[in-house]
């Protein structure tokens, strides 16, 4: 009996020892994200795009402004040319601007007197190129201009003649003064987003190589025995001619203050 019990106990223990425990597989984690690493080609594309964006940023920084170039028109009142009008250019960086100006006006019947009963007629014309530097990329600028102007002075005098016979004649004198000039100046041009511009400036007009061209026309000779040579030989004619030439040369050589009192324009 004891032998049978011992055999049964041994068989039970062996069965239990040889039985493997059953372990359930873990459930898949459906919330775990899958991380996909970029390929070498994708990494190269990303690096190239970043370099390109950085290059574009540097270009904009160097240019100072992403704005386009602008062109415009203007008119201004100034001394000594009175009225100017022309075209403007603004660089996209806003460091530089420029203009081409034209001007002209006439004044008639000035300085009427005994010697000049009809007075003096003046006619002015000018052309100039202006270059400006804006040190703060704003309204203030320092500029230099180069131009030329012409002053026509026309007057008429009555000249008395005593030789060979007494008489008189009318002498029309046309004096043309020409000069090139340099024009250093400083000023301000204020701009609005919709294109309006207003400005003013001051400077100094310094003449270069002035010239004087004097012509005379003699008419209404009172006595047919008097010739043009007789009139040109008179002291009155010689003095009048010398005086006009001297004054004209002085005007052509004289530097003048330059002041733009009011300037208005529009940019496109």
Full domain range(s) for residue 198: 57-260+263-267
CATH code at position 176: 2.40.160
At 156 the pLDDT is: 87
pTM above 0.75, yes or no: no
At 257 the pLDDT is: 96
Residue 191 forms part of a structural domain: yes
At 29 the pLDDT is: 54
Contacts of 214 (CB under 8 A, 6+ apart): 173, 174, 175, 176, 241, 244, 245, 248
Residue 156 neighbours by CB distance under 10 Å: 19
Residue 50 forms part of a structural domain: no
Q: What is the mean pLDDT of each successive set of 10 residues along the chain, which is 268 residues long?
A: 49 49 52 63 69 59 66 95 94 95 90 78 95 96 97 89 88 93 97 95 96 90 88 88 88 94 96
What distance in Å separates the CA atoms of residue 16 and residue 10, rounded to the nearest whole number?
Answer: 10
Backbone φ and ψ for 14, nearest 5 degrees, come out as -65, -40
Residue 39 forms part of a structural domain: no
At 18 the pLDDT is: 52
Residue 155 forms part of a structural domain: yes
Q: For the chain, how many structural domains are there in total?
A: 1
Residue 187 forms part of a structural domain: yes
What distance in Å separates the CA atoms of residue 220 and residue 229, rounded to the nearest whole number?
Answer: 14
Residue 48 forms part of a structural domain: no
Residue 4 forms part of a structural domain: no
Residue 20 forms part of a structural domain: no
């Amino acid at each position: 009996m004891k032998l049978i019990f011992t055999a049964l106990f041994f068989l039970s223990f062996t069965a239990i020892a040889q039985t493997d425990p059953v372990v359930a597989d873990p459930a898949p984690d459906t919330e775990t994200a899958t991380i996909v690493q970029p390929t070498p080609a994708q990494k190269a594309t990303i690096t190239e795009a970043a370099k390109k964006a950085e290059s574009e940023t540097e270009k904009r920084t160097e240019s100072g402004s992403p704005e386009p170039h602008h062109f415009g028109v203007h008119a201004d009142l100034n001394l000594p040319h009175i009225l100017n009008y022309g075209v403007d250019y603004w660089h996209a960086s806003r460091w530089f601007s420029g203009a081409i100006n034209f001007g002209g006006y006439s004044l008639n019947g000035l300085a009427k007197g005994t010697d000049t009963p009809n007075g003096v007629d003046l006619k002015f014309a000018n052309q100039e190129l202006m270059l400006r530097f804006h040190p703060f990329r704003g309204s203030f600028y320092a500029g230099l201009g180069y131009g030329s102007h012409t002053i026509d002075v026309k007057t008429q005098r009555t000249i008395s003649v005593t030789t060979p016979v007494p008489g008189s004649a009318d002498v029309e004198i046309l004096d043309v003064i020409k000069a090139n000039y340099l024009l250093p100046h400083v000023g301000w041009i204020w701009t609005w987003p919709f294109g309006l511009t207003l400005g003013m400036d001051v400077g100094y007009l310094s003449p270069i190589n002035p010239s004087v061209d004097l012509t005379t026309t003699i008419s209404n000779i009172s006595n047919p025995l008097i010739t043009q040579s007789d009139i040109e030989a008179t002291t009155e004619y010689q003095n009048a001619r010398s005086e006009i030439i001297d004054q004209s040369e002085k005007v052509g050589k004289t530097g003048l203050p330059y002041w733009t009192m009011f300037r208005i324009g529009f940019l496109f």
